[in-house]
Structure 1
Amino acid sequence: MVSSFLRCIVFSCSIIFSRLSLAFTPCPLLGPVFPEFALDTNSEVLGSALDDLTEAFDTLVKDGNGSHGDVHPNTTSFSLSLFSTNQGDAADTPFLFKYHYTAPSLKSSPNAAHDVDKDSIYRIGGLTKVFTVWSILIETGDRIWNEPVTKYVPELAKAAKCLDAKQDPVSYVNWEDVTIGQLASHLAGIAREYGVGDLSEQTDHLEYGLPPLSASEVPGCNLDSLCGRAAEFFSHFSQQPPVALPGTTPIYSNAEFQILGYAIESITGKSFESVLQDHILGPLGMEKTSLSTPANSSSAVIPVDEETSGWSTQYGGEAPAISMFSSITDLSIAGKAILASTLLSQSQTNRWLKPTIHTSNPANSIGYPWVIYSGGNYPNTSMVDVYTALSDVGLYSSYIGLVPDFNVGFTILAADSVSSPDLNAHADIIADMALPALMKIAVLQADASFGGVYASSRLNSTITVSADSLPGLFIDTFISNGTDFRQVLATFNGIDEADALRLFFKTEMSLLIMERGTCVSWMDIDSFKYDGASLDQFIFELDKNGNALSVEIPALRVELERGD
């Protein structure tokens, strides 16, 4: 039995075979390939990376351009942060790194003549969608995803009965086929919104060759005349044709989240704003975050005036999609709460941080409501998924990214006096500087915690473990009862010689033959067993500092002690 100060960790053994004529390619399972690592800001690797990050942003705002793209330092002010839930001092505060830049145009603005800082409040627009989904998960869990929206929004149930969508699927949405989960993951196939942004609002629309409209034909909902729920919004929106059939392709839509907001109100009997405050903002102490325009604008970032900037814009029913305000401190707190499952169970978080559908770009997928970017330097490193939400509204842009494999994240908030700024250069700099450093830290700590020779005191059984630049831990030697067990495993797979044997951090095991020309490790998990135990299961016993003391290999009925 493991004593109270010890714990166990399970690794998968990915047995990677390749013919000598084939190049070696690692193929770990999806997810972290190393155990959780500690992050200390005074460590050499992390400290150096953060210094380089500061220097990179200093250069960016000085030059206004670079390999990551152009920015506009004369007009764009921004704040950004990196945060972590790993052990170490990096998790002691809301963020482990911050950077602020105040543009000359903001310094001269009569509405916000101050330098931006960690408490500066920006409008975060579409990041609101994350909080809307989070609120649903806290209230009901994801069991609601497959339920029809008509169950919770009676106006759409009525529309489904009145409009013959089955007979005319081109003109009308069949609301009975639309689920809550499809709304939350941009898969409902419905219109982007109704009225807001319609070109008929422009006085010169006829000059563009658009046909004239009578007063009754102009959409009744816009930013100057917000629609109420039943009598106005649904009576108009239910007449909108579908953009795509439900569940077929991701289509960005603010209306999806407006409808989700109404569903939340039906479920809870409270306003969406109250649910947001009670479920998330209050429990996490996010005092600089709100759905409505903050009453106190002393911390506000307003690049021009409130109206022109979009600070005072009211979105009415669309608020659950696009209305929120926040700071990098509060968003860092929120990001850490998601990564640490502070308000949800771990199993619920695991399901939330997963894709629901691909886009036509193989590097991008969609989640609830995440835009997921697959990064990493594959095949030399494992794939690293970054769960993001990004938005521009008025003269504001916002970006949040979570990296579950490393338990880290970032947030970028910006405002510009001319147009909403592009934040891709900022995000790319963070990725290029931070991810390699995190991978290096993971390798160094894995080698220190698990590397070495493990041996039996009663049998001729040993393994030698180390870490290199590739994913996972490398098993240099593996002897079981005097037999080269690496060769045994190769023989089981019909391979003459095993090129490599690697351990990947996982709760299940993987056995992988790389001669197939594709990465199929998930298909080979638990393939070989002996007396019901997997040949590819390794259970490491750790001390309170996370250092391995021994490894148990259940199939071989042996426990090997780690040498000094």
Structure 2
Amino acid sequence: MRTFDFLITLLSFYCIPGVLCILPGPAYPAPRDISTNASLVAASWNNVTATLDKTLSGGGLGKLASVLLQNTTFSMGMFSLHDKGARSLQYHHTALPHLNGSIGTKKVDGDSIYRTASISKLITTYAGMIELDENDWNMPLSDIYPAFKNLVRKTKGGFDAVQHTQWDRITIGDIAAQLGGISRLGFPLTAGDILLQAASDPSVVESWGLPPPNFPAAEARYPCAKDLASGSMTCSIENYTMGIASDPPRYLPAASPLYSDSGFFLLGGALSNLTNMSMDDLYRKAIFDPLGLENTMSKPPSDPAVLARTVVAGNADVVLLDVPITTPSGGIFSTINDLSVIGTSILNSTLLPTDKTNRWMKPVSFTGDLHYAAGRPWEIYRYVHHDSKVVTDIYTKLGDSGVYGGLLVLLPDFGMGFTILGANDIGIQTQGIQLVADLVLDSLVPALLGQARREALVNLAGSYTAKDKRLNTTLTLSVPSSSTAAPGLLITEWISNGTDIKNRLAAELINLVPHLPKRPVSPKMLRLVPTIQNIASSGQVAFQMETVNPTGPVDGHLFSQMYDVNPWVSTMDQPNYNDIPINEFVFSIDKTTGRACAVTPSAYKVELERKGL
């Protein structure tokens, strides 16, 4: 039942006001040419880098942007499943005055090592996805941590949902998805906690109108407070959980997303417990070694040769501090080259089965804005193309901790992504990184769709005919000439055994949509989009036909427009012949060039050869 509820939640989330509501996913096969001079994507990248050059010189995006970027050391680069040359598209800026003068790199490149901050959360979850069984994600935290089990047992008789965290109901999967409902950071790892501030400035408590501090009680309740007070940074997960066990919840389990670093301390401990490995060993076994990541590490660099390539912004004793309990949340160091390998491996399902990757890369909960959703621990952005109003889902993880920040961005519809890492000793690095990311996104995503459309024209469009001319069967496909039109392969002509199937199908679709008043489906609305791509192994791509209603919703009301804006409910997979959809087409694709040589309308069981090859 939970799976069904999740599916309904996910699919109903798809359409937002002001967008073209079509099937989620790619409109064309992913573009193969990202990096050559002929690519629209490379051209967009050149525009981005030219704008950054101007901005760093005081112009471009304006004065504020110039100040942000001039004072931030950052590296960014692209990667693609289909074009290895995309890795050459990089940009680097070194803000030398804001780097440590005596230790670390003085000029950044693709192999410069940054702390990835909260991108570590994604890497931690990735390791868990690889090493854990599906059932492990449903395990409650009380089954792992004795302190939580004891608290649950003690409060059983007088349980209060407002005061007592339900550790026996919060699962490993919940905390990976930021649905634990627990605090952002548990004491004493909460640098902004007023009680900690009061240790050096007692007046701060009075300024908030709070009761007087009781430091002995806090130290007794939180064992890690004693550890930190003694100068030790080895707060164990056992001591940490003893301290936070009696903390009140912020939400009920799985009720609403709430960002929690503490949850990832617990996730790291859980992964270590379930795999019987230290997190350092787990990262190496699950990800670092299989992917050959030589510049990614779960401890701060200490080797002089490695330190020489490390971005150290400000006080080295602070930025290279090792607090092992926090590593799963924000302590992994890496480069944009290594993060590109990680991103590529996720898109390519290198370390995971494809079905597991597909389940992972989905929303788990909503946020207060229709353009954002949360996953495990994805921060999912819904990009709306300005011209066609098509939606592209973007899976990201932001890092923002101390002097470091970064982004890992995946665009599954296009089989590519980009990453940015940055540092600044005055704490403005994330603003600069987000500014750069917006610049890249607004230029890159339209170019990706344009390049995919351009390649579809060459690789897929044209006329396909049956080898046996007596069958009188022809299929002609084109692509929209305008970026404002709904993307996909347009059916220009479809004749089977002398019958005009295009017009026949358009006439039939009106009866498949169970609402009144009946609204005609124009043959011009029929278009094909890829649903299953298996080029690497079989050289085949399955396309499904869908309709686009250019007149928009019936009346703008949610229930009344349900069928109009949800083809996955109304017209997809209909009509069928012998349980095979008439509107399914399987293309035979050359694995090297990506060009189609034939197509088979599945229900008709006849291969149509592409003319002009």
Q: Same fold (TM over 0.5)?
A: yes
Structure 1 equivalent of residue 568 of structure 2 = 522
> CA offset at residue 275 of structure 1?
0.8
Shift of 1:443: 0.6
The answer to whether residue 301 in structure 2 is matched with residue 294 in structure 1 is: yes
Structure 1 distance, partners of 2:152, 2:495, is 67
What CA distance in whole angstroms lies between the structure 2 residues aligned with 1:83 and 1:367? Answer: 22
Match of 2:77 in 1: 81
Q: Which moved more, 1:488-497 or 1:64-73?
A: 64-73
- 1:488-499 equivalences under 5 Å are 488-494=504-510, 495=520, 497-499=522-524
Task: Give how far 1:211 is off.
Answer: 3.3
Counterpart of 2:600 (choices 544, 552, 555) is: 552
Determine which of 130, 137, 145 is the counterpart of 1:153: 145
The CA deviation at 1:230 is: 5.9
Query: Which among 275, 286, 298 is matched to residue 282 of structure 2?
Result: 275
- Distance in 2 (CA, whole Å) between partners of 1:317 and 1:304 is 23
**Residue type at the aligned position of 2:576:** K
Cα deviation code 1:479-516 (max 9, x no counterpart): 23333322212221332643321000113735447365
Tell me, yes or no, if structure 1 residue 204 matches structure 2 residue 201: yes
Counterpart in the other structure of 2:254: 247
Specify which structure has the bigger relative contact order, considering alpha-carbon pairs within 8 angstroms and separated by 6 or more residues. 1
Counterpart of 1:328 in structure 2 is 336
- What amino acid is aligned across from residue 506 of structure 1 in structure 2? T
Distance in 2, Cα, partners of 1:143 & 1:327: 33
Contact 2:596 / 2:610 at 8 angstroms: preserved in 1? Answer: yes
Measured at CA, do residues 75 and 68 of structure 1 come closer, stay the same or move farther in structure 2, by a change above 3 Å? closer
Listed one character per residue, the Cα deviations across residues 270-299 of structure 1 (whole Å, up to 9, x for unaligned) are 211111122111222222221111112211
Q: What is the DSSP-based 3-state SS (H/G/I as helix, E as strand, rest coil) of the residue aligned with 2:239?
A: helix
After superposing the two structures, state which structure 1 stretch, 532-541 or 476-485, moved more. 476-485
- What corresponds to 1:442 in structure 2? 452
Change (3 A) 1:539 1:496: closer
CA distance in 1 between counterparts of 2:396 and 2:157 reads 34
- SS, match of residue 319 in structure 2: coil
Farther off after superposition, 487-496 or 545-554: 487-496
In 1, Cα distance between the equivalents of 2:114 and 2:19? 45
Aligned: 1:486 with 2:502 = yes
2:123 alignment partner, one of 128, 131, 134: 131
The residue number in structure 1 matching 2:544 is 509
SS in 2 for 1:437: helix
Counterpart in the other structure of 1:97: 89
Distance 1:559 1:205, change over 3 A: farther
- The secondary structure found in structure 2 opposite 1:213 is coil
- Residues 415-465 of structure 1: CA deviation (Å, up to 9, x unaligned): 112114112111011112221221111111111111111223222322210
Q: Secondary structure at the match of 1:117?
A: coil
Q: Which residue identity is paired with 1:233?
A: Y
Q: What are the equivalent positions in structure 2 for 1:83-232 lying under 5 Å apart?
A: 83-86=79-82, 88-90=83-85, 95-106=87-98, 109-112=101-104, 114-164=106-156, 167-195=159-187, 196=189, 197=191, 198-202=193-197, 203-204=200-201, 206-207=203-204, 208-209=207-208, 210-218=210-218, 220=222, 221=224, 225-226=232-233, 228-229=235-236, 232=239
TM superposition score normalised by structure 1: 0.89
Alignment CA distance shift 1:180-1:392 (3 Å): same
CA distance in 2, matches of 1:129, 1:68: 34
- Structure 2 Cα separation of the partners of residues 414 and 496 of structure 1: 51
Alignment of 1:3-82 (within 5 A): 27-45=21-39, 46-63=41-58, 66=61, 70=65, 71-82=67-78
Structure 1 residue 403, shift from structure 2 partner:
0.9
User: Which 10-residue stretch deviates more, 486-495 or 270-279?
Assistant: 486-495
Superposed CA offset, 1:3-56 (max 9, x none): xxxxxxxxxxxxxxxxxxxxx985431111212331252242233223212202
Q: What letter corresponds to residue 560 of structure 1 in structure 2?
A: L
Deviations 1:246-265 (A, max 9, x none): 11110000111111111112
* Pair 1:41–1:497, CA change in 2 (3 A): closer
Alignment check: 8 A CA contact 2:506 2:526 kept? no
1:366-377 matches, cutoff 5 A: 366-377=374-385
* 1:462 and 2:454 aligned: no
**2:412 — aligned with what?**
404
Q: Which amino acid aligns with 1:66?
A: L
Tell me whether 233-242 or 380-389 shows the greater mean CA deviation. Answer: 380-389
RMSD: 2.5
Q: Show the counterpart of 1:8.
A: none
Equivalent pair of 2:115/2:404 in contact (CA under 8 Å): yes
Kept in 2: contact 1:28–1:504 (CA 8 A): no
Q: Which residue of 2 aligns with 1:474?
A: 490
Q: For residue 13 of structure 1, what is the aligned residue in structure 2?
A: none
Q: In the TM superposition, what is the alpha-carbon distance from 1:561 to its structure 2 partner?
A: 2.1
Q: Deviations over 1:89-124 (max 9, x none)?
A: 426xxx231111011414672334611122211111
Query: For 1:277 and 1:243, how far apart are their aligned partners in 2?
Result: 34
Cα deviation for residue 368 of structure 1 reads 0.8
Structure 2 counterpart of 1:443, which letter?
R
Tell me how many residue pairs correspond in the alignment: 535
Q: Which amino acid aligns with 1:60?
A: T
**1:152 and 1:548, CA in 2 relative to 1: closer, same or farther beyond 3 A?**
same
Q: Secondary structure of the equivalent of 1:273?
A: helix
CA distance in structure 2 between the aligned counterparts of 1:37 and 1:333, rounded to whole angstroms:
19
- Aligned with 1:125: secondary structure? coil
Could you tell me how far 1:399 is from its partner in structure 2? 1.1
Give 1 or 2: higher helix fraction.
Answer: 2
Q: In the alignment, residue 253 of structure 1 is paired with which amino acid? A: S
Candidates 397, 405, 425, aligned match of 1:389: 397
| Offset of residue 477 of structure 1 | 1.8
Is this contact kept in 2: 1:148–1:179, CA < 8 A?
yes
Matching residue's letter, 1:526: D
Amino acid at match of 1:170: V
The amino acid across from 1:138 in the alignment is I
Q: 1:520 to 1:337 in 2, by over 3 A?
A: same
Return the letter of the residue paired with 1:237: I
Runs of 5+ in structure 2 lacking a partner? 1-17, 511-519, 533-542, 555-560
Q: Is the 8 A contact 1:510 1:521 kept in 2?
A: no
CA 1:175–1:286: 2 relative to 1, 3 Å: same
Identity %: 31
